[in-house]
Amino acid sequence: MTGPGPDAGPPFFDVVLTQRACRTFADTPVTDAEIDTVLRAATHAPSAENRQPWEFVVVRDPAVQTALHDIAEAAWAGGGRAFSEGRLPDELLAEVDAGYAGGGYRSAPVLVVVCADVERCLPATVASSIFPCAQNLLLAAHALGLGSALTTLGASAGPEVRAVLGLPEHVWPQVVVPLGRPARALGPPRREPVADHTHRDRYGTAWEGRR
Amino acid sequence: MTGPGPDAGPPFFDVVLTQRACRTFADTPVTDAEIDTVLRAATHAPSAENRQPWEFVVVRDPAVQTALHDIAEAAWAGGGRAFSEGRLPDELLAEVDAGYAGGGYRSAPVLVVVCADVERCLPATVASSIFPCAQNLLLAAHALGLGSALTTLGASAGPEVRAVLGLPEHVWPQVVVPLGRPARALGPPRREPVADHTHRDRYGTAWEGRR
């Protein structure tokens, strides 16, 4: 690794420990150069057999964004929300509701749809290749000051998303990531302590107990 | 984000653009403090409904490491390698062979087994929660100068891994990550250009053509 420099972004742990979901965005544009930077980071994720099976569709066309929004909102209203009621903390449920009410995918300057080309990987390795790529994308966006969220609800409606984006049969939509400047400052991520979920050598042996 | 500081790690893009798989390790130890740092980053990944369903088993016990190595090697020798012949570039196949011959999981000072607790998430959201967490783990390790690899072959032998680690039925092993100082300097990751796999608004429209 080269030494610190302004072009190489903020310190790694400042980025990784403060990244969190953003669901409402300012109107400020996101440049093609920023998207290139974010996608370059995404393509540096590992993938099974280093096959790099990702395909990205970068959506700025309002008609396409609206179509993807409608698919996601229909999935949320048509079962997703009912399923999440009682499962999600009220605060998080309200945040998701506010995201849809505030325009959802339509309110983001850009959407990136991350797909897997199953002619370049096995169906069994789609997830282990695509989600690390998506995580790199979120972190890189945050390093540039962009908000984002990892959403799978819209992508889970595969045939409809495929029709909107003109995806061939062998390209499977997996994740939709809205990108844009956060409309307001985001609080810190809420996480449980590492020690509560870490075991030493075998499950059930406390990580901290044997130091 | 706070300003740059030595404790916050190297610049983000230096980390994300140089991370790559490491399969042979020096004997230098990895400290508990380093593992804590790496796992803290891992737990800051997003997860479906923010359920944080991860459980980590940190393995230093040589008997447990050997048992996990034997499971992975058996899966590789018993079908994984044959399957990969002709699919993998010779160079990568040789690298994986050398990793097993050099001790495989046994040669790493530490293994981290990343599991999903399906009492805290839906089976359908295991992958979208665990792989971003694993990717944060790999990046944080790299930021500390540790080599790592995202392996699923050992974890795919679920019942055997579960027996070795004493995992209850509801805790599913997903990823095994060896951690340690690289035995030798690693070359740059090999990646295809972003523009080759990026589309503007709809699949098939060149990303760069319409700038």
Per-residue pLDDT reduced to its tens digit, B28-44: 999 999 999 999 999 99
Q: Given A2, A135, A143, which is nearest B136 (Cβ)?
A: A135
Where b means 16+ CB within 10 Å and e means fewer, A75-98 reads bbeeebbeebeeebeeeebeebee
Tell me what pLDDT residue B109 has. 95
Is the pLDDT at A61 greater than 80? The verdict is yes
Q: How would residue B6 be classed by pLDDT, with cut points 50, 70 and 90? A: low
Distance between CA atoms of residues B67 and B194, nearest Å: 40
DSSP letter assigned to residue B56? E
List phi, psi (to 5°) of B198.
Answer: -130, 140
Cβ–Cβ below 8 Å for A44 and B191 = yes
Closest-CA residue in chain B for A18? B1
Tell me what pLDDT residue B211 has. 53
Q: Count of A–B CB contacts within 8 Å?
A: 249
Strands B110-117 and B54-59: antiparallel
Q: Given A19, A40, A60, which is nearest B194 (Cβ)?
A: A40
What is the rounded average pLDDT of the residues B146-173?
90
Strands B198-200 and A54-59: parallel
Helix (H/G/I), strand (E/B), else coil: A54:
strand
Q: Which H or E run contains B55? A: strand B54-59
Q: Given B9, B41, B128, which is nearest A11 (Cβ)?
A: B9
Is the pLDDT at B167 greater than 90? The verdict is yes
B73 vs B202, residue with greater confidence:
B202
Distance between CA atoms of residues B138 and B151, nearest Å: 11
State the CATH architecture for B12-182. Answer: 3-Layer(aba) Sandwich (3.40)
Helices (H), chain B: 12-16, 32-42, 62-75, 81-84, 90-101, 126-143, 153-156, 158-165
Q: Given B87, B125, B150, which is nearest A132 (Cβ)?
A: B150
Is the pLDDT at A153 greater than 80? The verdict is no
Tell me what pLDDT residue A1 has. 43
Is the pLDDT at B173 greater than 80? The verdict is yes
Q: Tell whether ipTM is more than 0.90.
A: yes
Tell me what pLDDT residue A3 has. 43
Mutation to test the B interface, candidates A110, A153, A194, most B Cβ within 10 Å: A194
What share of chain B in percent tops pLDDT 70?
Answer: 94
Q: Do B38 and B145 meet the contact criterion of CB atoms below 8 Å apart?
A: no
pLDDT tens, residue by residue, B98-139: 777 766 788 899 999 999 999 999 888 999 999 999 999 999
Which positions 2-31 of B are in contact with A (Cβ < 8 Å)?
2, 4-5, 7-21
Indicate the domain borders of chain A.
Answer: 12-182
A168: which 2 tokens? 């061939």
What is the rounded average pLDDT of the residues B159-165?
94
**Tokens 């992508």 appear where?**
A155
Tell me what pLDDT residue A154 has. 67
Distance between CA atoms of residues A37 and A136, nearest Å: 11
Helix (H/G/I), strand (E/B), else coil: A4:
coil
B159 vs A198, residue with greater confidence:
A198
Q: Given B8, B46, B59, which is nearest A21 (Cβ)?
A: B46
Tell me what pLDDT residue A41 has. 98
Helix (H/G/I), strand (E/B), else coil: B208:
coil
CA-wise closest residue to B56 among B113, B101, B3: B113
List phi, psi (to 5°) of A59.
Answer: -110, 120
Is the pLDDT at B5 greater than 70? The verdict is no
Residues of chain A found within 8 Å of residue B13, distances taken between Cβ atoms? 7-9, 37, 41, 140, 143
Cβ–Cβ below 8 Å for B199 and A58 = yes
Residues of chain A found within 8 Å of residue B187, distances taken between Cβ atoms? none
Cβ–Cβ below 8 Å for B11 and A12 = yes
Which positions 41-100 of B are in contact with A (Cβ < 8 Å)?
41, 43-46, 48-50, 52, 54-61, 64, 84, 87-88, 92
